Structure 1
Amino acid sequence: MQEIRVELTKNPKKKPAPGDPLPFGRIFTDHMFMMDYDLGQGWHDPRIVPYGPIELEPSAMCLHYGQSVFEGMKAYRAVDGRILLFRPEKNMARLNVSNERLCIPQIDEEFAKEAIAKLVSIERDWIPSGEGTSLYIRPFIIGVDPHVGVHPASHLIFMVICCPVGAYYPEGLNPVKIYVEKNYVRAVRGGMGYTKTAGNYAASLKAQDEAEKQEYTQVLWLDGVERKYIEEVGTMNVFFVIDDEVITPALQGSILSGITRMSCIEILKHWGMKVTERRISIDEVAEAARTGRLKEAFGSGTAAVISPIGHLKWGDDIMEINNGEIGPISQKLYDTLTGIQWGKLPDELNWTYEVH
């Protein structure tokens, strides 16, 4: 593996004190990881340097054509003081899936995992210890050729930045209100919906803005062709508990393969519960809500972990779920996942990676 050069900051920032607010994605640590790619040379010059602005040409291709991918991960301060990552190898594998779709050179997944661990180790004093807090980690790759012309970049930068965070949603673990989008489309099969790329999120902004105007937390997207099958929430995969079955939309090329989604499915099956990945229509969910068969709904994702859904708005149809309260399956999943992530529960599935 390449040696990572380290340049420590001479001007460390003041770290948040215990109990200080930690708004999501607003406070950044002292250092960042960088590595360059040049055609003919490959990935090279891995380094950890002081966090700060980077210089780009106004013609940098990422600014014009959106050739950029990213991941979302967290580091946790365990109750015994250890620093833990949660399934980081899955994030690096998914980053390469996004890379393939966006014509970005593959990264060495093991090296990238070790680079992130080294950065987190240097920034360990930034990892908060309060209940529900963590260090959010954002790896990303951008094409930086100074060229206004549509083609895959020959020069790219791989970067990792970190920020201490509290709960992603202001509601915390209280159920959120979700707005079902009827007019706009986020992704279709054959597109980029299964990747983590900037364009997917740009496509979601209009609907998210409309949802917020109506005082809803997030948007639930329907499929882009028939506009009837549920896909995912803007920042989460989604699950529905109907009767004694946990149902989540199948991955068919337009839905992100969430690491937390994968973990939920594996845990539920480990518990012996019936879990089904299939197409599920908004009509089916609405009918289950009307007949009292919809017991719970929740989202899953790195940022929120588990976010119970207490209220769905689909046109004029308002669905109140579980009296607007968190359900037993959502609660147990949250307790189990966070218990593993914070080292409160034994890691029977070998999902955590200790940073030294």
Structure 2
Amino acid sequence: MQFLDQAKIFLASGAGGDGAVSFRREKFVEYGGPDGGDGGKGGDIIFECVDGLNTLIDFRYSQHFKAKRGEHGMGRNRTGAGGGDLLIKVPVGTQILADDEERTLIVDMTSAGQRAILLKGGDGGKGNDHYKTSTNRAPRQFQPGFPGRDMWIWLRLKLLADVGLVGQPNVGKSSLINAISNTKAKVGNYAFTTLKPQLGVVAHKGQELVMADIPGLIAGAADGVGIGDRFLGHIERCRVLLHIVDASLPGPVAQWQTVREELGAYGGGLDRKPEILALSKIDLVSPQALAAKKRALEQASGAPVFCMSAVTRQGVDAVLDKLMEIAGRSQATRTTGGDRPWSPL
């Protein structure tokens, strides 16, 4: 299934039905009087957050959504039927933004079952029964239904995950998420193998967390170089970043600094998130070279550096222990019932 994380759509709520002009006409009722009913209310536009969706691809083929209008009032004081509400289902983590220069946030859909009424339908008009008075016993005026509202909006999906994988292209992020989760991410010995974000559920020592793998970052990504930084929004909600550096390439410090600069240029607080540093592909490096690269990276970052290999799984458990310590610290208290640990999926 194709991944789509942004979409622009048009919404229109239903207009209200008109009030009716009607008079009682019954046998043996000499002065029946007005009995025009009110119009029905127009349908609302409602968004609902649901499980089982992880892309906005449906909105590529359907961009216009209109709720039904209310029916007109009828005689015998019968109110017209209300227009049916239009329910639009979106994935967990979808943001609804106004179509303006600032892309103002309207509502953030962060939990399954959450609903938001974005546009209310127009109210129905009053029938002529409301206009009768002692001096106007046969009114013929009525109230038209109120119009609905319409607007263009942007939908932007930000995946919910505990851990975000960052690094330059082809450093082993996809290999790692394949090795420790149920994900089947594409793996290849070339840059930009990953072209879209991937989610994986990682189980380790009785706990679970969700890991997000995004396309690699290169120098100038904030200015659109390579795939750019448009997918960085998917790790804005992560509790911790796992920054992977390729140990088989020269210059681990330069690799780390390049990605850190792009995180800072993007903003959103990504450069202030807790970060775990790990050297990958250690099975391709001699112990002496690995020790020198680890020491240089620790001196530059001021943080401990883990060493691991997704192929041999050497050092992977130590990295997962640290991730669970930071990202999974609240797993025991955030439960959905029973002893099952909380998960955003």
TM-score, normalised via structure 2 length: 0.29
Larger radius of gyration: 2
TM-score, normalised via structure 1 length: 0.28
| Higher share in strand | 1
